[in-house]
Amino acid sequence: MSLFCDNRQRLVSRLKAKPNETRWIPGTFIVLQGGVEVPFNDTDIQWPFRQESFFQWCFGVEEPGCYGAIDVNTGASILFVPRLPPEYAIWQGKLHTLDNFKERYGVDETHYTDEIASVLKEKSARALLMLNGKNSDSELTTRETIFNGIDEFWMDFEHLYPAICECAMKNGPLKHTISIETDEGTAILYCSDIERLKNTDVDQVLDAINSGNKDKEVYSILENKIANEINCRIALQSLRKMIELESEWNRYRKTSSNVQSSAETINRDMILRQLVNLIVKSKDGETILQGLKALKRDRFSPSINIYKDRMCNEVMIRATDGELTMSQLIRAVRILVNYGNSKYRNCIDMLWVGLACREQDIKPDLLVPLFRSLKYFQRSKNMVQIILEKKLSEQWLKLTGSQMASILNCLYGKESLQGCLSSASKWANVSMTTSTEKDLVNFIGGLHTKKYANENIEQALARYVTSKGTEMKDPRLVASIMDYCKDLRIRNPYVLAECGKYFTRHGTQIPPTLLSPILAPFGLLNLQPPDPIEFWKMFDEVMSARFSDLKLNDALDILLSCTYLERYPIKLLDKVFSSYLMNRLQTQRDAPIVSHLKNKLKLFDATMSLECKEYRGSPINLDRNTESLSLDMRIRGIINKIYKPLAHLVGGEHKLSRSVVLSNRVIKSPQEIEVLRYVCKISSEAHKTVMRSMRPGIPEYKAEAWFLNYVYAEGGCRHVSYTCICGSGHNSSILHYGHAGAPNNKVIQDGDMCLFDMGGNYCGYAADITCSFPANGKFTEDQKLIYNAVLKARDAVIAAAKPGVAWTDMHLLANKVMLTSLKKGGLLVGDVEDMIKAGLNEVFQPHGLGHLLGLDVHDVGGYLAGHPERSKEAGVRKLRTARTLLAGMVLTVEPGCYFVDCLLDAALADPIQSKFLVPEQLQRFRGFGGVRIEDDVLITETGVENMTDVPRTVEEIENFMQS
């Protein structure tokens, strides 16, 4: 760590290199933020972590999420590390203490990241030197340092970047920093502040203030400053008037032969230059924006000119320096977007720096206009999205439904960030029952537009309609809810029942345009309305009175919905085929609309012909192809007839569905299976290469390198599926070892058990294979005991898995077999079933049996609507899916047995679990680590195809490693 300590001292020396020109006041600190882990797209896998380079240069820290501070005057260093949860010890590795970090990284102090502001305050920090610079190669700007409480400190973005890059400081004198002691504290003026006052006699102002002089001397100074600002305002008004007069003259010029002379052009140029130069001297950002807006109306100058350049550059500079308020930044976007030339519109991209500087000023009332401005950003759109998504996640509770809807309506395509939709879901869950009906209409409309629904929103809707019930007044709200449920297939009986009751109560008062959105969803979702007698009585009354007011498309949607519910509208047939409605169809000039309406009429006619005995056919020629439609309706009729007897046969209607949507990514196609077979084969061969090359005395990362070399050089893979886990000895008990904080860097010892979990990635498809074996190639008796316990569990699952079997049952089967083996080995006593009831299975295997595998290593489809939910029982609650196995699924089978100190300690202290444990036997396994055997399997029609091909038994492994 001496390298990084030396770097810190070099940086401090660099900042203090010119003592006669720069005097850092006490309480000046450098603050740097380290890198953070980034998820791989929408998965729970992380990209390989890389530390932020400036932070690495100063501190050399391997872990993510850290901060560092350096006292400029003393050179003392402080490292801030994340406060990690206890579960970290199970999945990621040892929970290091603050003293561990202090000793490891050679810093003066260590604290947690949630204490940054309080620690800096204790050290009387006044000014923070922060990074702010652009990489000359990538053209990207350094990330802004952010932590809770940062706005309580004065921040300097000017001096750190050039010093840490070893660039030359500004040639001009930096002046002194000035501290002004007041009753309220110390006011500090840095060189940038003094530069703004360069035309003012600073000593004169300070003497006047310190002496308490309040007479004309102070007022004279202030008067001069005010006069300068007034000159700027006068210049702005002059510019506006000049452009206005020129516009009038320009209209006149088009009808005359007058041509402006070159002398007039030169004079105009001089005047405009002087006016613009005066305006940009204003300290008021609003004046600058008004000048930019005025120049937008200049039709006399070329579309690109020096006046617009000057004003636009000034706006960019002030935005970058954080001098424009958030409202002014929004207005700057609106002004620039109306500029005719793309050069100025492209400047919008540079305003994101101003947004980042003023991020703390983003209040709830500014979120909507900011999201509306998002579409005007191009290259920097992602950065603005990140800022806005973060602020929305913090402030959603303070927004109204209409504001949330406006934000949702601003998101298009890639901008439909999951974080924004998640905030909308949280808002629905908390605020729906307390919002006005108007707000809810807008909010549901926004969700509808984004086609977004989830369980939280569905439950929130159900709570709202059941709690409000008779209090709902606005039919637009009911129509919005029903239309949303229809299009997003939300078949919630509570929601539809309450909306149906609303129709029964208020049907005659509902406007005709809202009848179809309220009524049609019942049929399309195949859900009978509540209180059928009263509902259909109201339906007949409303349709008799309002049918002629309905649009033909709405009328057909309602009637088709009736047929889906087997409620055939015989009484309305005359109205459907009346000459009035047919005339409306004939007079419709839009061909696609006419075709759409005719198709609905044909469908209605065909449905009634097949299903309703009283129907005598359409009185008009619809030219329908009965044969093509009859098949679907007959199948539907057959399903309706056999549904209840079949449900009785299989044990209830909950085990059947009239409509089954086959999974896409969950069920693999033959082509996908071939790719998965290949990547599993290559990964298996890579594991065997590692196993064959293994010997004590090498570092863990060398095994990782052997694997990577094989899958890349021999297999043609361009990636691995996840960060390689190469744990030896105690590290083999860390489930996700190998990350930035525990980077496969231990030297493997003779007698260590190795657990290597690695998988190649080919054409985007993942393999996930784990091999466990002794580093020296020879199992000890204890190693055999644990390994064979896990192997028997794996073999039991491979033998039992087949279509129709629940994955939760497979997990429990593996747990029972493994615990039985541990009991035979003398580590446990008692009944195995009782052990599982006590949760002991989760002590020795704190993860699920396996997961779906495909394009993602933890592939999608685990907990979808209509499938078993996550269990709350010990062991199975760790599963990534609880589904019933289907042919075509690809999963991992990965039972494991680990000796994790914190879990063993907790179990020994638990009065129920401890009675099954034999402490003196378990003691010798402390530090043993763990064993995991992981295969990638395909569920076939009859059982399992194991796509992994590596030595698995003790004998196979020993013979292979000695060959």
Distance of CA 288 to the CA centre of its chain: 37
Residue 752 has pLDDT above 90, yes or no: yes
Residue-wise pLDDT tens digits, 873-920: 988 999 999 999 999 999 999 999 999 999 999 999 999 999 999 999
Secondary structure (3-state) at 291: helix
List, in sequence order, every residue forming a beta bridge with 109; answer none if it has no partner. 78
Tokens of 215: 């007479």
How far apart, in whole angstroms, are the C-alpha atoms of residue 324 and residue 854?
49
Q: Which of 101-110, 183-192, 206-215 has the highest mean pLDDT?
A: 101-110
Q: Give the model's pLDDT for residue 629.
A: 39
Supply the pLDDT for residue 634. Answer: 62
C-alpha of 711 from chain center: 31
Q: Which of 562-566, 608-612, 862-866 has the highest mean pLDDT?
A: 562-566
Among 188-197, 475-484, 591-600, name the one with the lowest average pLDDT: 188-197
79, 102 in Cβ contact below 8 A? yes
Virtual torsion, Cα 436, 442, 447, 450, nearest 10 deg = -170
Average pLDDT over residues 238-259: 66
**Average pLDDT value over all residues in the chain:** 83
For residue 86, give the 3-state DSSP assignment: coil
Residue with the bigger pLDDT between 47 and 10: it is 10
Cα–Cα distance measured from residue 411 to residue 370, given in angstroms and rounded to the nearest whole number: 12
Instruction: Identify the CA nearest to 204 among candidates 222, 181, 189, 190.
Output: 222
Is the pLDDT score of 504 beyond 90? yes
> What are 54's two structure tokens?
């400036």
The tokens describing 754, both together, are: 């190795």
Contact between 50 and 60 under an 8 Å Cβ cutoff? The reply is no
Give residue-wise pLDDT tens across range 79-93.
999 998 888 888 888
The two three-digit tokens of residue 224, written as one number: 């001069």
- pLDDT computed for residue 700 by the predictor: 95
Instruction: Return the minimum-mean-pLDDT range out of 472-476, 555-559, 610-614, 918-922.
Output: 610-614
Could you tell me the fold of the domain covering 670-962?
Creatine Amidinohydrolase (3.90.230)
pLDDT at 183 over 80: no
Backbone angles phi, psi at 301, to 5 degrees: -80, 160
Distance CA 345, CA 848 (A): 53
C-alpha 175/C-alpha 303 separation (Å) is: 41
681 has a pLDDT exceeding 70: yes
What pLDDT, on a 0 to 100 scale, did the predictor assign at position 658? 59
- The CB density around residue 590, as the number of other CB atoms within 10 Å, is 9
Phi-psi region of 578 (alpha: psi -120 to 50; beta: other; left: phi over 0): beta
Question: Count of H helices and E strands in the chain?
Answer: 39, 19
pLDDT confidence bin for 214, thresholds 50/70/90: very low
Encoded tokens for 796:
């039991």
pLDDT of residue 803: 94
Look at residue 889 and give its three-state secondary structure. Answer: coil
Quick one: pLDDT band at residue 193, thresholds 50, 70, 90? very low
Question: Treating both helix axes as pointing N-terminal to C-terminal, what angle do 306-320 and 285-296 enclose, rounded to 10 degrees?
Answer: 150
CA–CA distance, 569 with 600 (Å, rounded to integer): 15
Whether 20 has a pLDDT exceeding 50, the answer reads no
Residue 334 in this model has a pLDDT that exceeds 50: yes
Cβ-proximal residues to 330 (8 Å cutoff; 6+ apart), any chain: 366, 369, 370, 373
Is residue 213's pLDDT more than 50? no
Identify the weakest region by mean pLDDT among 216-220, 231-235, 280-284, 860-864.
216-220
The model's pLDDT over 91-146, given as tens digits with 9 standing for 90+, comes to 888 889 999 999 989 999 999 999 999 999 999 998 899 888 776 666 677 887 88
- Specify the long-range contacts of residues 701-706, CB closer than 8 Å, at least 24 apart: 701/726, 701/743, 701/744, 701/745, 703/744, 703/748, 703/754, 703/756, 704/738, 704/744, 704/758
| Percentage with pLDDT > 70 across the chain | 84
- Lowest-confidence region among 133-142, 515-524, 603-612: 133-142
Query: Comparing 88-102, 246-260, 713-727, which segment has the lowest mean pLDDT?
Result: 246-260
Predicted structure pTM score: 0.49
Whether residue 173 is predicted with pLDDT greater than 80 in this model: the reply is no
In the chain, domain spans:
1-168, 215-246+266-394, 398-634, 670-962
pLDDT, residue 600, reads 80
**616 pLDDT higher than 80:** no
* The CATH fold of domain 1-168: Creatine Amidinohydrolase; Chain A, domain 1 (3.40.350)
Spatial separation of the C-alpha atoms in residues 62 and 105, rounded to whole Å = 10
| Nearest-5° Cα angle at 37, 32 to 39 | 145
What 3-state DSSP class applies to 464?
A: helix
Cβ contacts of residue 126 below 8 Å, gap of 6+? 25, 26, 27, 28, 153, 154, 186, 188
Residue 583's pLDDT is 64
The answer to whether 749 and 71 are in contact (CB under 8 A) is no
CA distance linking residue 697 with residue 747, whole number of Å: 6
Residue-level pLDDT at 15: 84
Q: Is the pLDDT of residue 830 over 60?
A: yes
Q: What angle do CA 200, 205, 208 make, to 5 degrees?
A: 155
Higher pLDDT, residue 305 or 83? 83
Structure tokens at 898: 């680990």
Are the C-beta atoms of residues 332 and 377 closer than 8 Å to each other? no
Indicate if the pLDDT at residue 715 is higher than 70: yes
**For residue 78, what pLDDT is reported?**
96
Lowest mean pLDDT among 37-51, 145-159, 324-338, 738-752: 37-51
